[in-house]
Structures are given as C-alpha cells and as structure tokens.
Structure 1
Amino acid sequence: MKRYTTLPKLMRLTLAVFLTLALLNCTPEKINERTDVTVNITDFLKQNDEYSMFLEMLEITNYSSFMNTYGTYTLFLPTNTAVKQYLTDVGAASVKDVPLKDLQDLVKLHILDQEVATTSFTDGKIATPSQQGQFLITGAANIGGSSSITVNKTARITSSNVSVGNGIIHVIDKVLRVANKTLAQTIEENESLSLFTEALKATGWYDKLNQPLTETTVEGKKTLTGHLTVLSETNEVFKAAGINSLEDLKTKYSHLHDPLNPQDSLNLFVSYRILPKLQYLADLAITPSLETKAPLEVISVKMSTGTVLLNEETFNGVLEKGIPVNRPTSDVTASNGVVHTVEQNFFIKKRNPAPVYFDLADQPEFMQLSAIFRKPGNWVTLEKSLFSEVTWDGNDKITYVCAVKGSTSYQDRAWHADIVEAKLRKDYVQNMAFKTPVIIKGKYKVWVAYRYKGTKNPIVRVYVDGIALPRLINFQEQGNVTLNERVLESQGYKNHVFPLTNRFNTRLCGIVDIQTTGRHTITFESLSSPGDFSWLDVVEFRPIDMDQLYPRLKSGGDGFAGPLTDPNK
C-alpha cells in the first residue's frame, strides 16, 4: 500500500480505472433469454380475475405449469360466470367438489395442441382434436339479431383470437361438456329418434353401439379404437315414407322375418346406416364413397351448395337425387362416435363399378395440419410411425408439398397442386403401400400419375392387394402432349390433368378385378436404387368400360377441367 501511495497521482488514477474495467469484464453479463415478453396462458389467467375459476381448474389438475410453458396451444376459455353455471348444472358447490377425473377430461376438452384462429373455423369439425381426444364443432348462430361463432352448438365465443406467448385464446360463455354417453344412449335420449332406437334394438345393433372404445398400444403409443358413425332417421322421416311403427318397418324390410339375422333386410337396413370410423360432416364431404357395416355395400357422397348428399348418381342419363344430411342436427358427438340425421328414408342401392380418383396426398395426417394442407407454398415431412394408412420398408420419411401457383418446380400442375415426395429406393422408402378409398367391386384399369424427373429416378412395379400389375413405371419418362391422345392411350400413357402438361406423366399399370366393395391396398415397389426423390400425384381406378381419358382432372385445382367427354366423338 505504501508503494501505491508513493506513485504519481496520474498513475494512481490510471491504475484505478484499469482495475475497475477488469472487474466489470469479470462480471457475468445479464442476458434476457426470452425473445417474446408476452405472457403465457397461465400468467394471462392470473392477470385477469374474470377467469380465476378456470385457473383453479388448471391448478387442481396440475395443468397450470405446462400451460405456462413454450408451445402453440388453442384454449377455449370459459368465464367465471360460465364455470358457475356448470357447477350448478352438475350439483357441485365449488370446483374442488368435481371429481378429479371429470375435471381433467373437462380441462383437456378446452385445449388444442395447435393454434387455430377463427379464420380457420368452418361450419363443422375443427381439424385438430382436443387434448381429451374428442373433436370440437364450430358454427354460426344468429342470437338477438347478431351473429356469433358457437362451439359444440352450445357455447358462444365472446372474445376471439387473443394472442399470448404460447398460443391463442377464445373466450366462451359456457363450459364445454365431454360427451360421455354412447351412440346407443345418445340416440335413445332423443325422442325424435324413438322408432330408429326400436329398430336398433330389434336388430341387435343397439348393443353394438353401446360398447365403449377399446384402448390399444402400438409402439408405446396408446390409441382408442372402435369409433362408429350413425346416419339416423327421425320419426318424421319414417312417417313421410309411410312407416309409423316397428311393425311397419318389419313388414316393409324384414324379408326373412328375423331382424337379428345379418342377412335379413331390416338388419341390412340398419347396418347400411352405420359407418366404420369417426366421420364428421367435414369428413363425409371429402369422401366420395363410404364403407358401411352392410357387407360389400357403400354409400356415395356429393356436395351441393353446402349440403352433403348421399347416393346421388346418374344412371343411363337419369339423375337419382341424393339424400340430404340435416346439418343442424348432425355432428352430435358421443363417447364412441358421432351421430348424423338424414332428411329422407333410403335403402341399399346396388352399384355398378364407379371411378375412384385417389389423390395420394389425401392422408389423415396431412389433412389435419390445417395450416399446411392445400395451403400454397407449404410442406411437411413426417415419419412413417405417424401414418395410419401408409406403410413402407426403410428408415426414410415422406413429404407433403403444396406448390405455389407458377412454381418453377411445376408441382402446381398436379391435381390439387399437391404431391407426395419420397425417395423410392432400398433402405429409404421401399414397398410403399397406401390404403385406397372405397372401390366398388368390378374390373378397373389402374393409372398412376407422377411428376417426371429426367435422372436419378426409379423403375417401379405396382401391386393391388398384393397382385403385381404387368406394366412397370419409369419415373424418368416425360409426359407427351404432341402425340395423338388415343395413340398415346394405346401405348399405355395419357395426360391426366387439364390443361395438358408434359411435366407430369400417367402410366397404365394394368387391369384389376376388385372382388369386394371396400378399401384396398396399392403398393409401389422400387426395382432400382436411384439417388433422388420421386413425386407421386394421383392413382385412377377407372372401370374398364369407361372412357379412360375423359373427364380429366383439373391441373392445380379441384374436380374436373376441360371437356368432360371426348369432343371428337
């Protein structure tokens, strides 16, 4: 210290500054690691007293912590007034008096694992299920002269699209209720469906619709199976068809006089109205043919000005009008499925072979990604363990791509402007198998459309239900728009979209004899090991006596385009 004091004043000052800077440099810098200072869901609830009761639900169920972490959630948030009404309805004095399991299911029903703004709502099912597993239904209602968005047909959204740090919030005026009654119970409690309930009991279907879902575990992931969809008929619909009692039903349909017999016409009458899987109106609208529980029988579907029509077809130039599904009374969720209501009585229709246009991108796992599926410029890559209707050998993933109009990659020329991208080669994606839509029994020509690539693409063999088709596909073959279309067809090629494009090619792989009406499997086996990706568009199953060129699919859009029949005939 003595030496320090003997230093000149200027040197002492310089040394002090140096020591101060050195000390500052050794002090850890305080960094704000959050890039978004917006509060998360739980903190938002804490800051707003009008939602304190739902916050209490989160805390009791131990969900408050994960709802305050990073994520992209959608919360349908009931107000305190809504929660109080719920407690009154269930006879509970407080939130703590509600059984914990019921409270957990209730909370999860209000939460989605994706951000879904009201701009993505449709008149029907939200594509993303709730964390509880059941889907939510949105719609529009006019109440007191003002239009409101409803959720599950009971709750109104009073404030929407509230942005928080980990998602989005829609405030609702009623608590959403978990559907805890089976299909059989849901139908029976509706007085307008009393005759339909009698028919279910007489045929044994009531017991089948009263079964709970089955929990299965696949690769460590638990899933619920056994969902069914019911197309019910009201007493008024039966009355309009001259049917006023169960005896009338038996007289009209029970040709074996034994409704419990699966071959009895009354049993078939009921089983024809029961569909496998969970299928809301939004699902029916995009499904050309529906499997039913009646053996080998299907129901065709068309959309007309927002109405779902069943079995509307033209035969020999005569239009057979379809059966409308009553939208307001449909999409009723049950614990093991969903109930719809039809507006007219109908029976099984015998069907001739009909064309099936199978867009390979129409996979449930792609379709539920509402921010990506058929949104130009978006794409997603998924592992095979995520797919329910596509399988393959190998360790690679497959990709969904929706192209921007005018894309230099020309993917926008595909039907719906989307394709499936996969590396078809050994150890990557080999023996890729797709579950087809329902195909009515009969003989069909099978056409496979793809976006060609000049190099590093495979030679592929196609199988239908394990049977190899005779003609191979060379993914390096370019489409031909100059050769006469009928000459091209005779060589086993065609243009599947209009306007025509040589960027895509369509190969006739062979003829198949579909023995049973239902869903089938088409498999692509790579016979070579090139290094690049292949682009698959659509598979056409056209009856052998149908024109194989017309109608053509719309390039970059939905439905058909250009002449629907050959203008040269």
Structure 2
Amino acid sequence: MKRLLRLPSLLRLTLVFLIALVFQNCSEQKIKETTDETLNITEYLRTNSDYSMFLEILDITNYAAFMNTYGTYTIFIPTNDAVQAYLNDVGATSLSQVPITDLQNIAKLHILDQKVNTTSFTDGKIATPSLYGQYLVTGASNKNGVSSTTVNKDASIVASNIELGNGVVHVIDKVLRVADKTLAQTIEADPKLSLFTEVLKETGWYDKLNQPLTDITDIDSYLTVLAQTNEVFQEAGYTTLDQLKNRYSHLNNPLDLKDSLNLFVSYRILPRLQYLADIAITPSLVTKAPLEVISTKLSKDTILLNEDIFNGVLEKGVAIDRSVSDVTASNGVLHYIKGNVAIKKRIPAPVYFEFTDIAEFRRLTAFWKKPAATLQTLFVGDAGIDVTWDAKAGDGAAWIGYRKDADGTSILNGVGNCWGADAIDINRFRDANAQNIRFKTPVIIKGRYKIWISYRQKGTKLGNVKVFFNGIEMPRQINLHEGGNTDTANTPETVLESQGYKRYASPWSNRVNCRLVGVVDVPTTGRHTLTLQSQGSFSDGAWFDMAEFRPVEMDQLWPKFAAGKSTLVQKP
C-alpha cells in the first residue's frame, strides 16, 4: 500500500480505473432478454383476481399452460360471479366437484385459435369455430336501455378487445354452455314447438335428428332445421297432428318418404351446418326433400325464404325469425320461421360456386378460410368427394392447393382480389399431368343458365382452358393470360358483357378476370359436374376463383363479389 501511495497521481488513477474495470467484467450482468413485456393470457389472468375462478378451470384442465404459449388466440373470460352462477346451476360448491370432462369442454368452448376483435362480430356466427368445434354466435341486445354485445344469446360482453401478447380477451358475464342436446331434443324442449315435435315423431324424422355425430369437425354431417312454432301452425289453420295428417298425408303413411306429410317435414331440413350468415349468401338451399330447394333473399336485415317473382308476379316469402334463430345443437343448428313454407315449383336461381368450397378443403379446419393460412396441397388419393383430376397416384408435382391471402387486402399470396381472398391452385395444369380437373357443383335448379368462370391472370406460361358441363364442351375457352386490365380503357361494362367478359369483383383489379364460357340447359335439379381442361403443355400453377351459374333472364353484372371478403355487393 505504501508503494502504491508513492506512485505518481496519474499512474495511481490509471491503476484504480483498471482494477474497477476488472471487477465490472467479473460481476454478473443483467441483460434484458425480451423486447415485449405485454402479458400473455394466462399471465394476465393471474394478475386479475376477478377472473381467478376461470383461471382455476384452465389450471385443472391444463389449458393454463396452453394459453401462455405463443399464438393468436381469442378467449372469452367469464367473471368470478359468472363461474359461481354456473356452479350453483350444476349443484356444485367448488370446481373440483365438476367432472373434468365438463371443465375441459367449457375451456375449449371459450377459446378460438384466431384473433377476433368485436369489430369483426356480426349478427350471427363468428367465422372461426371454438376449440370445442362448435361455433359461437354474437348479436346485440338492449336491457334497461343499455346496449351490449351478446355471445350465444345469453352472455353479455362487459369488457372487450383487451390486447395481450398472444391474443385478445373479451370478458363475459355468464359461462358459455356446450350445446349437448341433439336437434330433436332441442326442439322437444321448446314448448312452442310441441306440434312440430309431434310431426317429427310421426314421420320418423325425430329419430334422424336425434342421432349423435361421429365427427364434430365434419360440417357436412350436421343438419339444419327450419322449425315452425305452434303459433305459425295456428295461423295456417292447423292446431292438431290429425289436421296436418288429413291435409298432407296423401298416402296415409307419414313414414313413407314419398308421403306428402313426410315431404312437408323433409322440406324444412337442410343438409350441412348452416347458420344465418351462411344462409344469407346462399341463393338456394338444398333440402332433404328430393330435388326440392328453398330460394333465399336478403331484404335489408331480413332473410326471406321462397320470395320470388314468377311470370311477373311477386310471390311473398316467409321470414326467418333472426332474434331466436342460430340455436346450436350437438348435431346441427335450429332456426325459427315466421310462416308456413310450402313446396312449390322452383324457378332457376343463381348459384355462386367457389372452387375452394369443396369437402377436401373444408375439412382442413386449421387453414380453410383462416387469415394467413399457408398453402395446403392435396394429391391424388386425398380427394374424390367433390373434386378429382387426372394425375397419377404418386406424382408429387401434380397437386391441387388451397391458397389464402393473409389479410384480404393485399396480394401476398396472389389471391387478395378474389372473392373470399382465396383460390384453388392447380399445379402442373397441363397435358400428361393434371389436365382435367372435375368438380361437383352445388345444387343447381333445373333451367337455362350462363356460366361465368373467374380466375387470377397469369402473365406467362399456361394458356387456354376448355370448360365442360356434364361432359358437354362449352363454346368459349378461357385464356389465362388475359387479365382484367380493361379499366384503363374505361370500357363500359355492358360492352364487356357483350364480348363475354365482366368485372365480377368489387373493387376491381386487373389481376383477376371473368369469362363467359357458354349457356347450358340444366336438365334436373341437383349437383352436376364442371370440368376444367388445360390446353397447354407448360408446367405451372393455375389459380381459379369461382364459377357463376346465372339464369339467362337474370342481371349478369349484379350483384358483384366483394374482393377479399365473402360478401355480395348489390347494385347501387
């Protein structure tokens, strides 16, 4: 120490600085390893005692760890009062007394694997199903002069759009309950549907509507019911089952599928899971009555069934009671109609067929219609329900793919200007590979139609495409090199239509085009075959958006299709 003090002052300062630097390098450094301190969903719940009971459900079911991982989730969180009310309802004093299977189902029902803000809510189902597999339905209500958003018609949102690190939170005042009753049980539980229940049992349809699902992810296995209340029956002049049998059962055997009373019921049962949001954009509904369909029309916010103009005369339709419809059952969805719907001779109605709306893609529930979905491909052997093509099994380069745009506004994946922001991608659409691709169309009513094919333009490779309807070649071919750049010439739409083209999407883009390929006589009401056949030899992918079947008497330009969305644009 004495020697250190004898050193010159400048040297002593230098030594002290070096010694301090050594000690600093040897000490533990605290480095911030994250750039975002936003809480994840589970962390958020642990910091809010108002939601401790729902957090307990997540802990018991092991979903707490799941909701603390990276992702883009939406979760509906019931308050403690809501969970306590649920316990009182099921006769339990604590969550430990509730079967773990029930708690697991509740947890899954409250979680969506996609971020959905209230700005995306409509008066109907949320587009993304819950992790349980059932859809949630949102709407608006007014209680004591206070407006609120409801979920599944019963729970009100008390706080919304809470942005967290891995998703968004909406707080609700009631626990959402899994729909565990079948359609038959749901109908029978409503005293206003007692006569409808009797008719279902008399015709054998009650047993069919009481069948559980084998695969809750398969939308095609569900059923949709249009039910009539006792009041609607009474207005039509029927108050008893015997009156209905006397009026409709012409074979005196309601169990016979050809009996008019059986047809009366089957006409009110639709295949597939169809909420109001689905019905509103479907021009005609297939029914379980053979070859019979129901036409639909959206008038402001009212969905009308079988309202048509026939021979210049308006046939008044029957409205769906939106306020009480969209009732989820374990095997389908229930709607209430405000009038007695009768089977009648149908006139041709438009059919808008998205090439991506096929069974092979719909079963890809993690990707179909999901924003930012990655390209999903199918090979020969994966298909055969709604689509088939020529490629040989094992040809890994010949496939069809589901291509979805990221946000519906850009062309990140090249299809942001298509209807629904998605398109089917046919790879190696050429001779000797996937030259012919055949689709089963939705049900088309017997009549005369113009067929329009919409696609995304390709600047190079590919070439012409022939179109066949039920094996009959259409007179015009599609040139995949032709884009929709006619806007630059300000060509009137009526002139384009006369040339066999139109601007089918709104807003319009020169990246897509629509071609009239021909006029066909549809011989029977039902599903038909539409074939696309490549006339080129280039190895490339072709992207098709949709096919329109419009009655020849119908306006061929309106309605248009919202680019990047799944809605229609009506004529101003």
| Change in CA separation of 1:37 and 1:241 when aligned onto 2, cut-off 3 Å | same
Higher mean C-alpha deviation, range 480-489 or range 65-74: 480-489
1:227 paired residue among 222, 231, 254: 222
TM-score by length of 1: 0.82
What's the offset of the Cα at 1:478? 6.1
C-alpha deviations, 1:295-330, integer Å up to 9, x for none?
Answer: 111111111110111111111111111110001111
Partner residue of 2:296? Answer: 301
What's the offset of the Cα at 1:114? 1.1
C-alpha deviations, 1:536-558, integer Å up to 9, x for none?
Answer: 34423244xx2587455548673
After the TM superposition, which residues 73-152 of structure 1 pair with which residues of structure 2 at under 5 Å, given as runs?
A: 73-152=73-152
Tell me the secondary structure at the aligned position of residue 129 of structure 1: coil
After the TM superposition, which residues 329-340 of structure 1 pair with which residues of structure 2 at under 5 Å, given as runs?
A: 329-340=324-335
The letter of the residue matching 1:36 is: D
1:493 paired residue among 481, 491, 500: 500
After the TM superposition, which residues 553-568 of structure 1 pair with which residues of structure 2 at under 5 Å, given as runs?
A: 553-554=559-560, 558-559=568-569, 561=571
1:314 paired residue among 292, 303, 309: 309
| Change in CA separation of 1:161 and 1:305 when aligned onto 2, cut-off 3 Å | same
C-alpha deviations, 1:212-233, integer Å up to 9, x for none?
Answer: 00139xxxxx757621000000
Partner residue of 2:264? Answer: 269
Tell me the secondary structure at the aligned position of residue 51 of structure 1: helix
**Distance in structure 1 (CA, Å) of the matches to 2:42 and 2:492:** 66
After the TM superposition, which residues 185-224 of structure 1 pair with which residues of structure 2 at under 5 Å, given as runs?
A: 185-215=185-215, 223=218
1:280 maps onto 2:268 in alignment: no
What's the offset of the Cα at 1:137? 1.1
Tell me the secondary structure at the aligned position of residue 153 of structure 1: coil
Tell me the secondary structure at the aligned position of residue 462 of structure 1: strand
What's the offset of the Cα at 1:59? 0.9
**Distance in structure 2 (CA, Å) of the matches to 1:205 and 1:348:** 18
After the TM superposition, which residues 378-527 of structure 1 pair with which residues of structure 2 at under 5 Å, given as runs?
A: 381-384=374-377, 394-395=398-399, 397-401=401-405, 420=423, 422=425, 424-426=427-429, 431-465=436-470, 469=474, 471-477=476-482, 493-495=500-502, 497=504, 506-527=514-535
Q: Is the 8 A contact 1:498 1:553 kept in 2?
A: no
C-alpha deviations, 1:413-466, integer Å up to 9, x for none?
Answer: x78595637365349976455553321134444332345445323322324456
Q: Equivalent pairs: percent with the same residue?
A: 55
Tell me the secondary structure at the aligned position of residue 115 of structure 1: coil
What's the offset of the Cα at 1:391? 6.7
Partner residue of 2:395? Answer: none
**Distance in structure 2 (CA, Å) of the matches to 1:415 and 1:384:** 19
**Distance in structure 2 (CA, Å) of the matches to 1:223 and 1:416:** 23
**Distance in structure 1 (CA, Å) of the matches to 2:165 and 2:530:** 44
C-alpha deviations, 1:326-361, integer Å up to 9, x for none?
Answer: 011111111111110000001112113333343546
List gaps (5 residues or longer) in structure 1: 217-221, 563-569
Partner residue of 2:536? Answer: 528
C-alpha deviations, 1:498-517, integer Å up to 9, x for none?
Answer: 99998765444345454442
The letter of the residue matching 2:254 is: P
Tell me the secondary structure at the aligned position of residue 34 of structure 1: coil
| Change in CA separation of 1:482 and 1:280 when aligned onto 2, cut-off 3 Å | closer
When the two structures are aligned, how many residues end up with a matched partner? 544
Tell me the secondary structure at the aligned position of residue 451 of structure 2: strand
C-alpha deviations, 1:20-63, integer Å up to 9, x for none?
Answer: 76887798975434332111111111111111111111111111
C-alpha deviations, 1:380-437, integer Å up to 9, x for none?
Answer: 55313599966766246443458769x9x9989x785956373653499764555533
| Change in CA separation of 1:9 and 1:430 when aligned onto 2, cut-off 3 Å | farther
**Distance in structure 2 (CA, Å) of the matches to 1:213 and 1:233:** 24
**Distance in structure 2 (CA, Å) of the matches to 1:320 and 1:454:** 48
Q: Is the 8 A contact 2:478 2:517 kept in 1?
A: yes
List gaps (5 residues or longer) in structure 2: 392-397
Q: Is the 8 A contact 2:418 2:512 kept in 1?
A: no
| Change in CA separation of 1:275 and 1:28 when aligned onto 2, cut-off 3 Å | farther
Tell me the secondary structure at the aligned position of residue 65 of structure 1: helix
Q: Is the 8 A contact 2:428 2:541 kept in 1?
A: no
**Distance in structure 1 (CA, Å) of the matches to 2:99 and 2:544:** 51
Q: Is the 8 A contact 1:458 1:526 kept in 2?
A: yes
Higher mean C-alpha deviation, range 45-54 or range 496-505: 496-505
The letter of the residue matching 1:384 is: T
What's the offset of the Cα at 1:16? 8.2
Tell me the secondary structure at the aligned position of residue 214 of structure 1: coil
**Distance in structure 1 (CA, Å) of the matches to 2:368 and 2:28:** 43
| Change in CA separation of 1:272 and 1:283 when aligned onto 2, cut-off 3 Å | same
**Distance in structure 2 (CA, Å) of the matches to 1:540 and 1:440:** 13
The letter of the residue matching 1:474 is: N
Q: Is the 8 A contact 1:298 1:518 kept in 2?
A: no
Q: Is the 8 A contact 1:358 1:437 kept in 2?
A: yes
Partner residue of 1:64? Answer: 64
